[in-house]
Chain A
Amino acid sequence: MEAEDLYIKPGNHERGWNDPPQFSYGLQTAAQGGPKRAPLNKRVPPPQLTGSLCPVSRATPMIPFSPPSNPLAPPPCSMNTPLQSCLVAAPPISGMMMAMPPPPCPVVEQTHSASGQSESEPDVDDVVALLNWALAACRHTVKKQVCDDVAKRLKLFEDMWKSGKLSLPVRRRMNGLVQELKSRNWDAADEIHRALIVDHVNEVSQWMVGVKRLIAETRNLNPDLLHTPEADPIIDNRSTADSE
């Protein structure tokens, strides 16, 4: 999973007050398996029972308070006051983008940078070809109706891509998915499909279930039926035949 797939979006503050931020699927699953930081569960006993008189914490302020009007004294400079590290914590999992977007500006889920994206822009035809290769292999054993249903959804996927309705992360991750399919990494492909449907349900909900079924059926096939994609000449004909 790429670093761009581990992100946090703000919650929907128009529909829900104090809606919590939304974590991507990648971040959620990483958190569940990962090491836990020291839990925040300590308390301080009240002074009346321990003998001290002052109810506030021991720390005394070192910075003189400035009145809440001009001039505002700036915070301590980095050079002068070394900040002690936060609660002892496991280091962030590599590749994870921890920064929360500064409230309250609305955050787009991806920064659209023109540079560096063109070489990672996947080719729709390659992706569709691989999907159709898998579908073709399934046609031998899987019921026709199921295959037609899958084909219909793959077509929808293709159309949505070609008409620019799919965002870059979806296109990129679908490319990753079909690569995993090609390498017979069924679990990895399945996981990508799950991440996509959790993170981008509004884009993918109509056709992703077809991809899900495709993965499920393909992994159960007799390996002999899965010729390498390049070797199978039927692919091109079928993909044109399907595009009515």
Chain B
Amino acid sequence: MATYQEFIQQNEDRDGVRFSWNLWPSSRLEATRLVVPVSCLFTPLKERPDLPPVQYEPVLCSRANCKAVLNPLCQVDFRAKIWACNFCFQRNPFPPSYAGISDVNQPAELMPQFSTIEYIVQRGPPTPLIFLYVVDTCLEEEDLQALRESLQMSLSLLPPNALVGLITFGRMVQVHELSCEGIAKSYVFRGTKELSAKQIQEMLGLMKPAASGPQGRPVAPQDPSATCRFLQPVHKVDMNLTDLLGELQRDPWPVPQGKRPLRSTGIAMSIAVGLLEGTYPNTGARVMLFTGGPPTQGPGMVVGDELKTPIRSWHDITKDNARHLKKATKYYEALASRAAVNGHSIDIYACALDQTGLLEMKCLSNLTGGHISMGDSFNTSLFKQTFQRVFSKDYNGDFRMAFGGTLEVKTSRELKVSGAIGPCVSLNAKGPCVSENVSHSFPVTFFVHNAPIPQGGRGAIQFVTQYQHSNTQKRIRVTTIARNWADAQSQIQHIESSFDQEASAVIMARLGVFRAESEDGPDVLRWLDRQLIRLCQKFGQFNKDDPTSFKLSESLSLYPQFMFHLRRSPFLQVFNNSPDECSYYRHHFVRQDLTQSLIMIQPILYSYSFHGPPEPVLLDSGSILPDRILLMDTFFQLVIYHGETIAQWRKAGYQEQPEYENFKHLLVAPLDDAQEILQNRFPMPRYIDTEHGGSQARFLLSKVNPSQTHNNLYAWGQETGAPILTDDVSLQVFMDHLKKLAVSSAA
């Protein structure tokens, strides 16, 4: 429906919200019958270059258990200077500073176009950002050199008054003092001995921490630069730290033949978290772990040091043969929770050819809103540029980072939040309240019906996100939205046309991924299939028991294809991906915005040829033609595939001849489009330039729907397209089965 598409897009642009349904059914029972739950994808800090923040505190409802923020949905009596909270109906007087408001002189927060508004509130002195580097020294010299250089370079990208610290580890863990003069000193810890936070703080000689303020309020330590010799302002220590980094040596402990280096990642992270906890609780900080292999000793070890014992694979995990998995995961989860509560995020930059233990360590980033970057070596463009982009700036010249976020969700009485998935921990507060480090799309939030719903009228939801901006200001962003109620019996068509199939696909996918973390793989696929069949039964137009009559309206037409590709995706299929790779893909899947998440589910395929401008084509083997160049974006990879004829022309060098300049343009066109993506995406994707018959073409072949395989090559009747050698079910077969099951009266 054209109008709903526009409505959906406008809302996403303004509020960063995409709902699965934009008309809400007025009873709980009907809501469950819709199959896809009423839920939304929310990006708390969607970039809004056009939204200037206001410099005053938000006006809150005075009811103690409400405290909703004044918003455009509230009824206002301008003469009596009273407003009615749209969530609890409490009547509140305006504060004295609002004495001058009137019908023609409204404050921004009452205007409909400010359904999303940001307040700058400064409570207490501004606190600087903190960056703590935790560096693995068990690297090959080439990698270590590249890492040294990247870290030295990063000092020029940090804001001058940010605090920076350095911990290095291998067999031992060293915390480096960053004084401005004299000899460099460091405190050395054994990599095997677990210490409590208090012990760590005592051994580092840190002052007793001041009493922590309530969540979200920063506590400035007594004398920041004196208090912590380990975290110093960049502008003071940049020269010393540059030298220190330049002199970093490989871990001196020799590694015997047949053994892995002893890597004490667990203790290193424990010290990092403890150090920040003790000195700067409740302040924005970023721990950045750079590791070149798995933890092999101490708590949190993922594999032993004998090379003949490989690191756990999916096979080991399903056979319950992964010795360290549970213990290590529990260990890192405990660390992650401590960091998250303090508003500290943890990034992991893992560069190695083998697995590094991301499966166990992923919670460090997932629960704290940090990044995970996975590469082959620190001496690659993928790592270097991904790392550079961590420090990228927005249109205002501020970092695209935010810290210490708490998200509170308020709903009108008829709704209740039933959960949220994503990079966050629950604060277990009275109202639903989660802590996260923002700057990504916040995942699924569920709403179930609670109380009887009034006829007509609208349900409302308010998202309140408090956070520390990268320019150290404390800010509150408030997004208030409403949707109409509709009676499912009489208005099912309208509800159907309000379906956002893209948002729903991503929401169901995230639900699936969430389940996959705790359940068996096949069970999740069965669950997904059941939901899809039910949805088709509810909304498909068909004659009973007649599969050929089955049709779906436009608002659902892409949905089955999304589900088909989701079933084949690395998020739900662990085949061909290591546990670390799955963790990495899932990590990014649950934090990207809708468009990017959808790309991950069903990659985009564009075709370039002489026949016309570049156009999107079906992600199907039939789209692979000799005279076309295909650009496939899976989010993690960008593949440029040259069809057979194109490849031959290229090899023959026609692009060098002036009369074939159009061929040269054709070759360059997908490269230009790919470049745009390469320059902007975080993390940096892999880049594959391949052609018909090339080994790297497998990235394309494994993603396209195999409508033509070695099984049906001669039965199909299509002369064009490349057959895929697979036994995977094709979309056609999938759809046939789906239709049969949906129309069956036996179902």
Contacts and interface: CB of A to CB of B under 8 A. Distances in A.
Residue among A33, A85, A198 with most chain B CB within 10 A:
A198
B520 interface: no
Interface in A1-52: 8-9, 11-12, 15-23, 27-28, 31-33, 36-37, 39-46, 48-50
Contacts of B385: 20, 22-23, 28
A23 B680 CA distance: 11
Contacts of B107: none
B160 A209 contact: no
Given A40-B633, A72-B652, A86-B672, A55 B618 contact: yes
A19 B686 contact: yes
A213 B375 contact: no
A173 interface: no
Nearest to A212: B156
A43 B604 contact: yes
Residue among A28, A75, A81 with most chain B CB within 10 A:
A75
Contacts of A103: 689
Interface in B645-685: 645, 648-649, 652, 654, 658-663, 665-666, 668-669, 671-673, 675-680, 684-685
B239 A213 contact: yes
Nearest to B553: A49
B595 A39 contact: yes
A236 B552 CA distance: 83
Contact of A209 (B238, B613, B615, B675): B238
A205 B244 CA distance: 12
Interface stretch (A57-65, A130-138, A224-232): A57-65
B631 A40 contact: yes
Contact of B680 (A32, A50, A213): A32
A153 interface: yes
A49 B552 contact: yes
B718 A56 contact: yes
Given A43-B558, A78-B660, A201-B152, A213 B238 contact: yes
A26 to B, nearest CB: 11
A62 B611 contact: yes
Given A39-B595, A77-B659, A79-B659, A20 B611 contact: no
What bracket does the count of chain A residues touching chain B fall in? 35 or more
Residue among A40, A72, A87, A100 with most chain B CB within 10 A:
A40
A32 B388 CA distance: 13
A62 B625 CA distance: 13
B732 A78 contact: no
Given A40-B673, A44-B618, A59-B611, A74 B238 contact: no
Given A41-B595, A77-B660, A202-B149, A36 B610 contact: no
Contacts of A44: 616-618
A103 B690 CA distance: 10
Given A20-B381, A81-B662, A193-B156, A46 B149 contact: no
Given A153-B239, A216-B160, A36 B676 contact: yes
Contacts of A8: 675
Given A44-B616, A65-B626, A205 B731 contact: no
A27 B388 CA distance: 13
A200 B156 CA distance: 13
A183 interface: no
A20 B678 contact: yes
A46 B735 contact: yes
A81 B659 CA distance: 11
B570 interface: no
Given A11-B687, A72-B648, A78-B659, A205 B377 contact: no
A209 B376 contact: no
Contact of A20 (B669, B685, B732): B685
Interface in A111-161: 145-146, 149-150, 153
Contacts of B581: none
B35 to A, nearest CB: 18
8 contacts: A11-B381, A16-B380, A18-B686, A37-B673, A59-B611, A72-B649, A72-B652, A205-B153
Interface of B: 142, 148-150, 152-153, 155-157, 160, 180-181, 235, 238-239, 242, 246, 375-377, 379-385, 388-389, 392-395, 551-552, 557-558, 560-561, 595, 598-599, 602, 604, 606-620, 622-623, 625-627, 631, 633, 637-638, 644-645, 648-649, 652, 654, 658-663, 665-666, 668-669, 671-673, 675-680, 684-689, 696, 707, 718, 720-721, 731-732, 735
Given A57-B617, A61-B625, 19 more contacts: A15-B379, A20-B684, A22-B385, A28-B392, A32-B680, A41-B598, A41-B599, A43-B561, A49-B552, A49-B557, A55-B618, A62-B611, A66-B645, A74-B654, A75-B610, A75-B663, A77-B662, A85-B613, A198-B153
Which 5 interchain pairs have the tightest Cβ spacing?
A16-B380, A31-B679, A56-B622, A20-B687, A15-B377
